[in-house]
Amino acid sequence: MASLVRSATLRFLKPLGNLTLNDAFNHPRTQTRSVRAFSTTLSPPSKAVVYEQHGPPDRVTRRVIQLPPVEVKENDVCVKMLAAPINPSDINRIEGVYPVRPQVPAVGGYEGVGEVQSVGSAVKGLLPGDLVIPSPPSFGTWQTHIVKDQSVWYKINKNSPLEYAATITVNPLTALRMLEDFVTLNKGDAIVQNGATSIVGQCIIQLAHHRGIHNINIIRDRTGSDEVKEKLKNLGADEVFTESQLEVKNVKGLLSGIPEPALGFNCVGGNAASLVLKFLGRGGTMVTYGGMSKKPITVSTSSFIFKDLSLRGFWLQNWMSTEKAKECRVLIDSLLDLAREGKLKYEMELVPFDNFNAALDKALGKQGSQPKQVINFQL
């Protein structure tokens, strides 16, 4: 502790001339400040993935550096991070193309889970040992220790599976909000989506199935598509089609006993978005929340005139900026309950922090389709 206090003390000193480190620490002015420093709680040093400029993530985040201890003020909570995912939006922030991003230099990451290590004197409701997540999510989760105001942290059930606690906010909450915010769905209704193998897509399948809502899923043509279909059906998918299977005039003729979908989800764009539109019934709504193909959405004039279709967009960051964000923590609890019960699951790979670069390469798609990469700071 003394060494930490000493480093913290010297950071705030004005120059004392040509003194040795020992002389500087024993100088009267230093002594006065070090007494004050001993009454200050400091965090441990933090190992962090830092990028100093925007650019290709595999080039600007190659170094893990150590950050100095910081003061834990009266309303602050020091959290030892346990796990944090590498999300596509994290990559976009590092690239500098995401609409909301921190100023550089910055620590990567946006969601995760940690354990309270220490609390400021005015903090209420949180104690050392509590399991917490940043809610709403907060920049800088790719580091071993974080100190932020108590309002950032939300205490969750300590029995929550680590990897699900770390990833519950961005993808599962997106799926839940989209199912609830655009069309009133009742048991027996139907939805359709592309990008069904994505984490959001898998969550939509399971949440819809849990509510008795039929779901029609579109995947890209690939080697092993039969295995992918089987995997999605085991999650609760009613129908799974490859894009080439839908190259027919009447796609609705492929459905058996499923009503026309009133709601569709698009995270791909291009032809995959057009296929979602083909399934929708009159007055249906397609919600776009991503554009993985980087191709535009093309809609026929007849779809607007004769089917009266609506096109909407969803961005979780925007939703969290509204008064509805107050619901966020209650919804997270309900999603974690489903994860603990085995009713919400998706494939992830826990990776030691020391192997961050290898995990980043997988997240960037350098090794083909991979499970979501989750940094485990304990391994």
Q: Going along the chain, which residue ranges are E strands?
A: 46-51, 64-67, 76-85, 106-107, 113-119, 131-134, 145-149, 153-155, 190-194, 214-219, 239-242, 263-266, 285-288, 310-313, 348-352, 372-376
Crossing angle, helix 170-181 and helix 199-210, to 10 degrees? 50
Report the C-alpha gap between 66 and 210 in whole angstroms.
45
* Residues noted as catalytic: 98
Biggest CA pair distance of the chain: 87
Q: What is the CA radius of gyration of the chain?
A: 24
For residue 176, what are its two tokens? Answer: 């839940």
Q: Angle 333-335-339 (CA atoms, 0-180°, nearest 5)?
A: 115
CA 115-117-120 angle, to 5 degrees, is 125
What is the C-alpha to C-alpha distance for residues 116 and 128, in angstroms, rounded to an integer?
A: 5
Burial class (CB in 10 A: 0-12, 13-18, 19+), 59: exposed
DSSP string, 123-192: --S--TT-EEEESS--S--SBSEEEEEGGGEEE--TTS-HHHHHHTTHHHHHHHHHHHHSS---TT-EEE
What is the spatial distance between Cα 201 and Cα 231, in angstroms, rounded to a whole number?
A: 13
Q: Are 59 and 364 in contact (CB under 8 A)?
A: no
Answer whether 113's CB lies under 8 Å from 46's CB: no
